[in-house]
A and B are shown apart, each in its own frame.
Chain A
Amino acid sequence: MDLSINGKLYQVEDSPNRTLLWVLRDELGLTGTKFGCGVGICGSCTIQIDGVATRSCLTMLSQVEGKQIRTLEGLATENPDGSLQLHPVQEAFIELQVHQCGYCMSGQIMQAAALLDENPAPSEEEIIAGMDRNLCRCGAYPRIRKAVARAAEIAAGG
Chain B
Amino acid sequence: MTETPKQKRKLSRRDFLVLTGVAGGLYFGVTLGVLPFARLKLAEYLDEAGGPPMTVDAVPLAWFEIGTDNLVKIYIPKVEMGQGIHTTLAQAAADELDVPWEDVSVLNVGTGKGLDDPVGTSASNSTSSLFPVLRQAGATVREMLRFEGAKLLGLAAESVSAENGFVTATQDAGKKVSYGEIVGAVKEWVVPEKLPALKKSTDFKYIGKAMPRVDLLDKVLGKTQFGFDVRVENMAYGAVATPPRLGAMIKSASAGEAATMPGVIKVVIEDDFVGVVAERREQAWAALSAVQIEWSEVKVWEQAEIEALVQVGNGRGVTVQTEGDAEGHLRGSVLEAEYYTPMVFHAHMEPQSAAADVRAESATVWASTQSPVSVRGAVAKAIGLEAEQVTAIPTFLGGGFGQKINNIPAVQAARLSKAAGQAVHLGYRRTEDFQNGYIRPPSRSVLRAAVNKNGLIEAIEHKQASGQVAFPFFPVFVSKVMGADFGAYRGAQIRYGVPHKRVDAWLADLPFKTGWWRGLGMLANLFAIESFMDELAVSVGMDPFLFRLANLPLDELGGRMKKVLEATREKSGWDTPAPEGRARGMALAMDVGTLVGCVAEVSVKNKEIRVHKLTGVVDAGMFVNPNGAASQMEGGMNMALSSALFEETQVKNGALSPTNFGAYKFLNNSASPEIVVELLESGDEPLGMGEPPLGPVAPAVANAVFALTGQRLRRLPLKLA
Taking Cβ atoms with an 8 Å cutoff, the residues of A that contact B are: 18-19, 22, 25-27, 29-39, 41-42, 44, 71-73, 76, 86, 90, 93-94, 97, 99-106, 109, 128-129, 131-145
Contacts and interface: CB of A to CB of B under 8 A. Distances in A.
Contact of A135 (B83, B280, B429, B668): B668
B175 interface: no
Interface of B: 80-84, 210, 212-213, 215-217, 219-226, 228-229, 231, 237, 280-282, 347-351, 396-401, 427, 429-430, 627-628, 631, 634-639, 641-642, 660-662, 666-670, 672, 674-675
Nearest to B614: A142
Contact of A102 (B215, B660, B661, B670): B215
A101 B666 contact: no
Give the interface centre of A34, A71, A76, A104 by most chain B CB atoms within 10 Å.
Answer: A34
Give the interface centre of B82, B662, B666 by most chain A CB atoms within 10 Å.
Answer: B82
B501 to A, nearest CB: 33
A107 to B, nearest CB: 9
Given A97-B627, A102-B82, A136 B220 contact: no
A29 B235 CA distance: 12
A19 to B, nearest CB: 7
Nearest to A100: B82
Give the interface centre of A42, A73, A103 by most chain B CB atoms within 10 Å.
Answer: A103
A101 B349 contact: yes
Given A97-B628, A132-B668, A140 B634 contact: yes
Main secondary structure on A side of the interface with B: loop
Of all A-B residue pairs in the complex, the 10 with the closest CB atoms, nearest first, are: A32-B222, A139-B638, A103-B398, A101-B82, A100-B82, A141-B672, A72-B222, A31-B229, A139-B635, A102-B219
A101 B81 contact: yes
B361 to A, nearest CB: 29
A30 B636 CA distance: 31
Contacts of A129: 670
A135 B221 contact: no
Given A26-B237, A94-B212, A137 B217 contact: no
A100 B638 CA distance: 13
Contacts of B670: 128-129, 132
Contacts of B401: 137
Given A132-B669, A137-B347, A137-B666, A105 B635 contact: no
Contact of A97 (B213, B399, B429): B213
Given A22-B280, A86-B220, A139-B634, 19 more contacts: A18-B282, A31-B229, A36-B350, A37-B662, A71-B222, A94-B220, A100-B82, A101-B399, A101-B400, A103-B226, A103-B398, A103-B399, A106-B222, A131-B669, A134-B669, A136-B669, A137-B349, A142-B634, A143-B634
Nearest to B641: A139
A130 B360 CA distance: 52
A104 B666 CA distance: 14
A69 to B, nearest CB: 14
Give the interface centre of A41, A76, A97, A133 by most chain B CB atoms within 10 Å.
Answer: A97
B631 A97 contact: yes
Nearest to A130: B669
Contact of B636 (A136, A139, A144): A139
Contact of A39 (B282, B628, B660, B675): B660
Contacts of A39: 430, 660-662
A109 B217 CA distance: 13
Give the interface centre of A19, A39, A143 by most chain B CB atoms within 10 Å.
Answer: A39
Contact of B635 (A90, A103, A131, A138): A138
